[in-house]
Structure 1
Amino acid sequence: MARICLINPRFPTSFWGLNHALPLLGKKANMPVLALPTLAGLTPPGHEVVLIDENVEDLDLDALDAFDIVGLTGMSVQRDRMLELLVELRARGIFVVVGGPWVSVAELWFEPGLIDVAFIGEAEETWPRFLEEWAEGRHASRYEQAEKTDMTRVPTPRYDLVPFRHYAMGCVQTSRGCPFQCEFCDIIVIFGRRPRIKTAEQVVAEVDAQYRLGARVVFLVDDNFIGNKKAAKVILRALIEWQHANGYPVALFTEASLDLAEDEELMRLMTEAGLVAVFIGIESPDEAALRETKKYQNVRGSLEDRIRRIQEEGLEVYAGMIVGFDSDDPGVFDRQFEFLGRSRIVGAMAGMLSAIPKTPLYERLEAEGRLDNAAADDPNIATNIIPLGMSREELRDGWVGLMERLYDAENYFARYDALFVEGRLPLGTAKMTWLRRHRPLSYLKVQVLTILAAIVILARVWADPRTRPYRPTYARHLRRLLAARRPPRYLFQFAWKCALHLHLAVLTRRMALRETALVNT
């Protein structure tokens, strides 16, 4: 039988990585990558499996000589580190297998001879088959499933191999696939447009397992949690029962499409299940851009009205935004900034449009001669598209300027006040109401622990020398929050927003000053 080491390569500093905020939270990484424990769970008994996440522990290359198989996963943002590791592993003569999102869409990016076996797409069927064939000395060099995975038959990942104490949050995948057809998205290429969903029992078991191992925040990391609304409601009702049985020990959030705003029952179930936030791909306030990229679910009425409906149900909206669509002109940066202010979206992640291999966008731009893949690795460009409505330099400078304005402390906390203080977002109301009625002692315990956690984070924020320029703004908005006499959970939310702001502001400022390469993730 085989000794197997599965590695998640180190991420570069990125917006989603929360690198500058993590020390304030006492953590080493944002969240674990599910590929590793999932593959471990698919590995037949008898094999030894070791998981290494470079984001939370150092990699001892010499120790890898003792393994029969070394596996790498990775997304596009990890591709440079993947290449470094592959070159080193090849020089050592180590047997290497590679899977994950990047090799699935850019198989030809990897030089011949660097990989012994490539896994394209899902691997629930191909990984066990490979191990069987490897043991018999007859494995292939490439595996790709003919059919999509039946998610109801996926075993529970080996979460016991994941050091949850090092991560800011856990993550559980409840489904794969998305019914929409956004031109730039690789999800529909890898996982398809028909959502495939785990049973409610599977989801609850995974949330429970991560809770038992120390996770207190869990991201339901779906391509679109509400891709099948009927199934999502079944899962939410099961999560509500679990939260009631355990006293709401876990906060949840997820990714969803904007049509969430059209289903009041679904939003109510989400808040009752302990969800506090949802990430939504808004992309643009301009209808022409949304239609261009086939984001039709976002043009069924007022964007701002629909966002506000979600917020009023108690779900904070984090928004994904994109600049660089064909219809975008230099005025798009002002329009995005003003839209996000009106929409009271504090956590806005703006990026330059990039074309991922195999997506409809990539194929269209390639046919039009508007791709420059080398530019994606250029630290001064960071996208492979050639825009229509402006030069690449105008796109770059406008994007960096937009982020500087979004993450300016005054602008950032003005949006915070509009949502949490003046707007009085009903954050966690369903949870706290239930606890007060059914478990009054737990209710008091949660209040005390929430205040203590907020104080610890705020103390770290104030002690960090990088926050010196922002402390007057933090202090002024903290006083406004306290004067509004919001419950303790809002104090914790404020502390988290300070940590998030520091990360966003530091990263953006360094890019604006050209102290670091552009980070378009």
Structure 2
Amino acid sequence: MAKIAIINPAFEVSYWGLEYAQRLMGFKANMPVASLPLLAALTPAEHEVVLIDENVQPIDFDSLSDCDIIGVTGMSVQRFRMEEILSELKSRDLFVIAGGPWVTVEEDYFGDLVDVTFVGEAEQTWPLFLQQWATGTHQTRYEQSEKTDMSTVPTPRHDLLKNKDYMLGSLQFSRGCPFQCEFCDIIVTFGRRPRIKQASQILAELESLRAHGVEIGFIVDDNLIGNKKAIKPILAEVARWQEQHGYPMVFSTEASLDLCEDEELMELMARCNIQSVFIGIESPNEDSLKETRKYQNVREKGGTIVQKVRRIQDFGLEVWCGLIVGFDNDTPEIFQRQKQFLKDARITHAMIGLLHAIPKTPLHARLLREGRLDTSDEHPFGTNVIPRQMSREALLNGYLETMRECYEPEEYFDRLDSLFLDDGFQFRIFKTDFFRKHRWMRMKHFSFFMVGFVVMYWRLMRGVPDAKLRRVYRQRIWGAIKARIATPSIFFFYTIKCAMHYHHHKMTHDMIDDPSKFVSSYGKAMRTGPAHPTPRPPKQQVVPLPTAASSN
């Protein structure tokens, strides 16, 4: 039997991390990376597993001395902290393994600090390693020859996480994306053929999350609707589970823009209580979209990008988006076009990033051939891409100014009010047949929202140190109450939006005040999602989470 510790390093403050908002809401971290509980579930029962997420608890290196195996996983934005942790572990002469998104694309990055390296998915290689380790025959590098059969993936060990410390839970329905975006490492890691779990697996995971007190979940799939035909019966089963249990969970996820073309699919997502979708818009510049092979965003069917976004919003799903600046077809005009797009599309939350070329992607290979790749590890301009139609200084300065303007209170709340107040946005879930038939359920949710509104308003007024921002929040909240007095559920969501604004606003101004810290910390992962959200996580880190790009 082995005693195993698996570590997820601390993240730097990030767009999707919502670190400053979490403190207002009483949480320590946004959500757990999906790799930790999944790797624990893949570990044979005779071994002891400890999960350590540095985002919610400090690492006690002394207590790790009695571990036989210590695994460290992480995304590109975590690589500096990963190196510090690995160095400390190695100085103590401990047996260390590493995997995850960063190691998958830069497997030699940590050199002799690592005893065993895992590349890509690990449903097969992790148990194989443990078997070989027990007999002293383990290899120093593992990579699966075939993509994981998703029907074999076990229910993650959510019981080993400190779930109360997270704002969200994480779960996964599928892997892979059918599209071919040049900058995206998701299709490199997971492939272009979407692979989907069986409904029974997903329902078992929902039961596990519910049993451990998780009420809000992020579905980390990089494109939930990559295979529309196959995902529909899965969503129908999840919707039935929600109805049978009185809708105990709320979800958000990632999807491609062609969601707008399928009303049946949107209805199924609404019935599952998926209330928001992150969409990789990337650019309002169609030449840039064609350049990066994001053809799904320039198809004529459904109208312009703004019209497609509005169709999803009008249906009752909120749209968050990812935007990128720095494509070859981008001129300095792109910054104003991005800001105008967000206003026209009524998108409140936009993760704007500098284009970054991730190793093993087509973009990385092309720019390397063209001599337009900064191959140093810490990039003074926040990206390793050397732009074609503007200087690196102009790209960075334009990016920072775009972020500043987009998250100035007036700009942010004008976009929010355009959707929620002027156009009367209402989440589709409350218009479904189930909620029409079950008035007691509507009353239950009404009570929850009202209590939540009072608590969040109190926390905003006590927790935001900037008196000017507090005044803006008060004015905007009371304006929302007057405008939507007949829809009190909106009050709670509006206070959440204020907390999120505080995070985005503070993070943006911190970047502008000290850009040297920003480019050092984020130089190799300007496009991190979900994290997700980034949002990517996203989007499994030895079984990789969504890394520094998303193709949806």
Q: Distance in 1 between matches of 2:162 and 2:463?
A: 26
Aligned 8 A contact 2:132 2:138 in 1: yes
Instruction: Provide, for residues 211-237 of structure 1, a one-character-per-residue CA deviation record: whole Å limited to 9, x for no partner.
Output: 221111111110110001012111110
Q: Structure 1: give runs of 5+ residues left out of the alignment.
A: none
Deviation for aligned residue 1:451: 1.0
Secondary structure of residue in 2 paired with 1:496: helix
Q: Say yes or no: does 1:250 pair with 2:252.
A: no
Q: Say yes or no: does 1:2 pair with 2:2.
A: yes
TM-score, length of structure 1 as denominator length: 0.97
Q: Report what 1:272 is aligned to.
A: 271
Q: Say yes or no: does 1:339 pair with 2:338.
A: no
Q: Report what 1:411 is aligned to.
A: 411
Q: Distance in 1 between matches of 2:225 and 2:55?
A: 30
Aligned 8 A contact 2:69 2:95 in 1: yes
Q: Distance in 1 between matches of 2:440 and 2:255?
A: 34
Deviation for aligned residue 1:208: 2.1
Deviation for aligned residue 1:443: 2.7
Secondary structure of residue in 2 paired with 1:500: helix
Q: Report what 1:174 is aligned to.
A: 173
Q: Report what 1:286 is aligned to.
A: 285
What amino acid maps onto 2:357 in structure 1? Answer: A
Secondary structure of residue in 1 paired with 2:81: helix
Secondary structure of residue in 2 paired with 1:28: coil
Secondary structure of residue in 2 paired with 1:322: strand
Aligned 8 A contact 1:248 1:431 in 2: no
Give the 3 Å change call, closer, same or farther, for CA 429–194 of structure 1 in structure 2.
closer
Q: Report what 1:232 is aligned to.
A: 231
For 1:387-466, list aligned pairs within 5 A. Answer: 387-430=387-430, 434-435=434-435, 437-438=437-438, 440-466=439-465
Q: Report what 2:35 is aligned to.
A: 35
Give the 3 Å change call, closer, same or farther, for CA 497–405 of structure 1 in structure 2.
same
Aligned 8 A contact 1:432 1:443 in 2: no
Secondary structure of residue in 1 paired with 2:236: helix
Q: Distance in 2 between matches of 1:285 and 1:16?
A: 22
Q: Report what 1:210 is aligned to.
A: 209
Q: Report what 1:115 is aligned to.
A: 114
Q: Structure 2: give runs of 5+ residues left out of the alignment.
A: 529-552
Deviation for aligned residue 1:488: 2.5
Q: Report what 1:193 is aligned to.
A: 192
Q: Report what 2:55 is aligned to.
A: 55
Counterpart among 299, 307, 328 of residue 326 in structure 1: 328
What amino acid maps onto 1:427 in structure 2? Answer: F
Q: Report what 1:517 is aligned to.
A: 517
Secondary structure of residue in 1 paired with 2:371: coil
Deviation for aligned residue 1:249: 1.2
Deviation for aligned residue 1:428: 4.5
What amino acid maps onto 1:329 in structure 2? Answer: T
Aligned 8 A contact 2:171 2:205 in 1: yes
Give the 3 Å change call, closer, same or farther, for CA 200–497 of structure 1 in structure 2.
same
What amino acid maps onto 1:500 in structure 2? Answer: M
Aligned 8 A contact 1:216 1:250 in 2: yes
Q: Tell me whether 87-96 or 207-216 shows the greater mean CA deviation.
A: 207-216
What amino acid maps onto 2:37 in structure 1? Answer: P
What amino acid maps onto 1:355 in structure 2? Answer: A
Q: Report what 2:382 is aligned to.
A: 382
Counterpart among 313, 316, 325 of residue 314 in structure 1: 316
**Greater relative contact order: 1 or 2 (C-alpha under 8 angstroms, separation 6 or more)?**
2
Q: Report what 1:73 is aligned to.
A: 73
Instruction: Provide, for residues 452-508 of structure 1, a one-character-per-residue CA deviation record: whole Å limited to 9, x for no partner.
Output: 112211211111243422223222221221112242321111011011100000010
Give the 3 Å change call, closer, same or farther, for CA 263–432 of structure 1 in structure 2.
closer
What amino acid maps onto 2:463 in structure 1? Answer: D
Q: Distance in 1 between matches of 2:456 and 2:93?
A: 46
Q: Report what 1:349 is aligned to.
A: 351
What amino acid maps onto 2:356 in structure 1? Answer: S
Q: Report what 2:19 is aligned to.
A: 19
Instruction: Provide, for residues 291-328 of structure 1, a one-character-per-residue CA deviation record: whole Å limited to 9, x for no partner.
Output: 00000000013101110110011100000000000110
Secondary structure of residue in 2 paired with 1:350: strand
Aligned 8 A contact 1:272 1:430 in 2: no
Q: Distance in 2 between matches of 1:29 and 1:472?
A: 27
Deviation for aligned residue 1:275: 0.8
What amino acid maps onto 1:11 in structure 2? Answer: F
Aligned 8 A contact 1:247 1:435 in 2: no
Deviation for aligned residue 1:176: 0.6
Aligned 8 A contact 2:175 2:196 in 1: yes
Structure 1 consecutive aligned stretches of length 4 or more whose deviation exceeds 6 Å: none
Q: Distance in 2 between matches of 1:475 and 1:15?
A: 24
Aligned 8 A contact 1:21 1:502 in 2: yes
Give the 3 Å change call, closer, same or farther, for CA 516–217 of structure 1 in structure 2.
farther
Aligned 8 A contact 2:271 2:432 in 1: no
What amino acid maps onto 1:502 in structure 2? Answer: Y
Deviation for aligned residue 1:446: 1.9
Give the 3 Å change call, closer, same or farther, for CA 234–4 of structure 1 in structure 2.
same
Secondary structure of residue in 1 paired with 2:373: coil
Secondary structure of residue in 1 paired with 2:329: coil
Aligned pairs, number: 517
Q: Distance in 2 between matches of 1:437 and 1:387?
A: 56
Aligned 8 A contact 1:510 1:516 in 2: no
Q: Say yes or no: does 1:135 pair with 2:134.
A: yes
What amino acid maps onto 1:387 in structure 2? Answer: P
Deviation for aligned residue 1:406: 0.5
Secondary structure of residue in 1 paired with 2:284: coil
Instruction: Provide, for residues 112-145 of structure 1, a one-character-per-residue CA deviation record: whole Å limited to 9, x for no partner.
Output: x111000000000000000000000110000000
Aligned 8 A contact 1:461 1:467 in 2: no
Aligned 8 A contact 1:41 1:157 in 2: yes
Secondary structure of residue in 1 paired with 2:517: coil
Q: Distance in 1 between matches of 2:170 and 2:242?
A: 16
Give the 3 Å change call, closer, same or farther, for CA 214–188 of structure 1 in structure 2.
same
Instruction: Provide, for residues 354-398 of structure 1, a one-character-per-residue CA deviation record: whole Å limited to 9, x for no partner.
Output: 111100000101111111132x624x4221110111111100000
Aligned-CA RMSD value: 1.3
Deviation for aligned residue 1:202: 1.0
What amino acid maps onto 1:51 in structure 2? Answer: L
Q: Distance in 1 between matches of 2:298 and 2:425?
A: 25
Aligned 8 A contact 2:430 2:436 in 1: no
Aligned 8 A contact 2:477 2:495 in 1: no
Q: Distance in 1 between matches of 2:316 and 2:431?
A: 11
What amino acid maps onto 1:221 in structure 2? Answer: V
Instruction: Provide, for residues 10-36 of structure 1, a one-character-per-residue CA deviation record: whole Å limited to 9, x for no partner.
Output: 111111111111011111100101111
Q: Report what 2:154 is aligned to.
A: 155
Q: Distance in 2 between matches of 1:192 and 1:108?
A: 22
Deviation for aligned residue 1:515: 7.0
Instruction: Provide, for residues 43-69 of structure 1, a one-character-per-residue CA deviation record: whole Å limited to 9, x for no partner.
Output: 111100010100001110011101000
Secondary structure of residue in 2 paired with 1:240: helix
Q: Distance in 1 between matches of 2:90 and 2:320?
A: 41
Q: Report what 2:222 is aligned to.
A: 223
Give the 3 Å change call, closer, same or farther, for CA 78–162 of structure 1 in structure 2.
same
Aligned 8 A contact 1:271 1:313 in 2: no
What amino acid maps onto 2:40 in structure 1? Answer: A
Q: Report what 2:163 is aligned to.
A: 164
Secondary structure of residue in 1 paired with 2:18: coil
Aligned 8 A contact 2:429 2:435 in 1: no
Deviation for aligned residue 1:403: 0.5
